[in-house]
């Protein structure tokens, strides 16, 4: 069982935690079941007829598009349900939220891949996928540790006394990105990514808005903490592109079911981002996301059955 890092807990003791909403935990279970069902459908079966809701017939592939439509509608409905409370989660949560959309797009790209590709050498001195994912996890962990430390040690961005770097002792306790962060099967690596991102959100989404202007460092540059939170999403997107390039170097072309999985998971991620970090547990908005996942799962399960 993974536990939240002491380096994070120790510097966020005065921030009310925001654990992942129970509705999102349930929704994610359905989303992963959707991916399993879609990947079990042979590509040649996507054109078989599927009687969706009785009347006419559609192709099996529409099951995936229907699931994505459900999530896109849920995204809109959740925003409407929040109404004037959309910003109630605070500025930190709003800046963090796109990171979960980025995460689900990356996982939609990765989930169809066999474990054997983790260590395949793409050549050209490029990283294997295991190293890429280990780095993404490690960087997310350190973004979080660092932001927690900076917000607990307030400085102005322009303060000449702004430390030039985080304490060495902090970096010394960071897991190794190759041998620890990227260890295990695809499922184990992705579970680690989920935990690190979710725990980052849990401890920092409730950070008071005035602390976003506190000073910190990124790549040696003086930046505010709002910038550091915004890097979560950007960094995941950056390495999603790297994964795409690596797969091209390995000659791995996605099948249509592979592409459909990514499409559905990306749509879910955008819906989840509406309530990610917003203390929305038990609210109508979070319930909308959960019910959408149930509906989407049923649609894809039906399509899979029609595929034979």
Cβ-based neighbours of 241, under 8 Å, separated by 6 or more: none
CATH topology of domain 6-307: 1.20.120
> How far is it, in rounded angstroms, from Cα 148 to Cα 154?
11
Domain boundaries in the chain?
6-307
Angle ∠(200,104,296) on CA atoms, nearest 5:
125
Taking the chain (308 residues) in runs of 10, the rounded mean pLDDT of each run is: 90 95 96 98 96 79 97 95 73 96 98 94 95 97 96 95 93 92 94 97 96 96 97 98 97 97 98 88 85 98 95
- pLDDT for res 2: 86
- pLDDT for res 62: 96
Q: What's the whole-model pTM score?
A: 0.96
């Amino acid at each position: 069982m993974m536990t939240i890092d002491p380096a994070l807990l120790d510097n966020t003791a005065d921030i009310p935690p925001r654990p992942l909403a129970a509705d999102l935990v349930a929704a994610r279970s359905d989303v992963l079941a959707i991916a399993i069902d879609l990947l079990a459908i042979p590509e040649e079966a996507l054109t078989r007829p599927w009687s969706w809701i009785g009347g006419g017939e559609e192709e099996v592939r529409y099951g995936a598009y229907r699931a994505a439509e459900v999530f896109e509608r849920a995204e809109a409905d959740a925003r409407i349900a929040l109404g004037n409370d959309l910003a109630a989660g605070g500025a930190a949560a709003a800046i963090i939220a796109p990171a979960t959309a980025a995460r689900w797009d990356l996982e939609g790209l990765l989930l169809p891949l066999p474990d054997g590709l983790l260590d395949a050498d793409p050549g050209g001195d490029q990283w294997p996928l295991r190293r890429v994912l280990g780095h993404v996890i490690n960087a997310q962990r350190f973004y979080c540790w660092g932001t927690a430390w900076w917000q607990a040690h307030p400085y102005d961005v322009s303060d000449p006394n702004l430390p030039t770097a985080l304490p060495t002792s902090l970096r010394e306790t960071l897991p190794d990105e190759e041998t620890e962060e990227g260890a295990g099967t695809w499922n184990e690596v992705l579970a680690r990514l989920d935990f690190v991102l979710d725990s980052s959100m849990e401890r920092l989404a409730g950070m008071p808005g005035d602390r976003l202007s506190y000073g910190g460092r990124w790549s040696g540059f003086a930046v505010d903490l709002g910038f550091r939170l915004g890097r979560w999403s950007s960094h995941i997107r950056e390495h999603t592109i790297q994964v795409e390039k690596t797969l091209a170097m390995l000659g791995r072309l996605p099948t249509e079911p592979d592409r459909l999985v990514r499409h559905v998971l990306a749509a879910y991620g955008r819906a989840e981002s509406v309530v990610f970090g917003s203390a929305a547990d038990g609210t109508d908005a979070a319930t909308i996301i959960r019910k959408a996942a149930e509906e989407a799962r049923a649609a894809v399960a039906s399509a899979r059955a029609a595929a034979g």
